[in-house]
Amino acid sequence: MLISFYGCGSSSRGSYRIHIQNLCEYFRNLGYTSVIGGDPNKYEILIHDKLTKKFRNLDKVNGIITPSCDNESVLKIVDFIIVGSIEEKCSMMKYNKNVFLFPQIEKMYLNIPRKIHQTIPQDKPLIIGYHGNQNHLNHSVCGLKGALERLSKERKIKFVYVCQNDTEWKEGRPEGVEMEFKRWKYETVTREIQQFDIGVVPNISEIEHSNKLKANITLGKYNTDMKIRFKNKSNIGRSLVLFNLGIPVVADITPANMHMLADPDNGYGVFDENSWYWALKELCCEKKRNFISENAYKEANRLYNPEKWTKSLAESIKKIYDDKIKNKKI
């Protein structure tokens, strides 16, 4: 197959790095001709950035990467869609049956020796860190804020967040906790994240227990049920970076995270303040941090091998291409 990607962006934009720069290279590593910005008349498979509204040659096989669900006309016109999670796939399938999963595997974080955790003296802060889109910090109200405040009363901690800006974190800032904002930079972000002792991944934006809802035991609805809200584009990307760098992860129970965290030896899936708190408290021990981070490092490299995922994606795209040729549409 002859593949060309189209998109405007740079290495500072995650979706461009992962699904254009990196994926283009992964295809080349498997022996495909794959370029960025090639002549659309000379390539068979045209894969477009998520913001694309006008396509270069609809007679070819056209794909789009992680588009908005609101853009219904685009979702229907393309031959296939590439997404980053099962959650996102499910949200797209009412518009297009050919939705293919390629997780947020970041090449820049692969094959880096994992961090080995050391004992932290009580007079030195335990670094609890966050990286990624600053908007998710607003979701700290769903338990992380209270957990950090509780832990800070027991030992010295510091919350470090590595983001593009510090202006969009509007609610959920912990009180009485030392905090530091570091601006996300491609050249330094790996080093900044490896300074973390624990990595946190808040994603759920609302939580509720069934005692606030209407129970109906006949229909299998109980007072112990939980209701959660998260974006359709939720994915394992932020957690995966931490796994790959040897940072133990505490992440909420967004479905994508649970591919790894269903095994408690790989990290902690949490829901409310108490589960956040006890996970962070356990990871104050350096032996626990090393045990968890080593297991997660090995498992992430096994489950999220880019060659495996690229092979699967290429096979799915080739089937679309072959079907279109047989139907004499190109």
Give per-residue pLDDT as tens, 223-233: 889 899 999 99
The whole model's pTM is what?
0.93
The mean pLDDT value for 138-165 works out to 97
CA distance 52 to 35: 18
Is residue 65 over pLDDT 90? Answer: yes
Show the tokens assigned to 87: 């959650």
Res. 140: pLDDT tops 90: yes
Q: Strand 61-65 and strand 45-48: pairing?
A: parallel
Alpha carbon distance, N-terminus to C-terminus of the chain = 14
Measured between alpha carbons, how far is 84 from 235 in angstroms, rounded to an integer? 6
Question: Residues 227, 232, 235, CA angle at the centre, nearest 5°?
Answer: 95
Interacting residues of 170 by C-beta distance below 8 A, sequence separation 6+? 138
pLDDT at 249 exceeding the cut of 80: yes
| pLDDT score recorded for residue 326 | 66
What is the predicted pLDDT for the residue at 131? Answer: 97
Looking at per-residue confidence, does 51 or 287 come out higher?
287
Residue 270 pLDDT more than 70?
yes
pLDDT value at 12 more than 70:
no
Q: Which two tokens stand for residue 157?
A: 């901690």
d(CA 289, CA 267): 9
- In contact, 204 and 254? CB cutoff 8 Å: yes
The token duo for 121 is: 């003296």
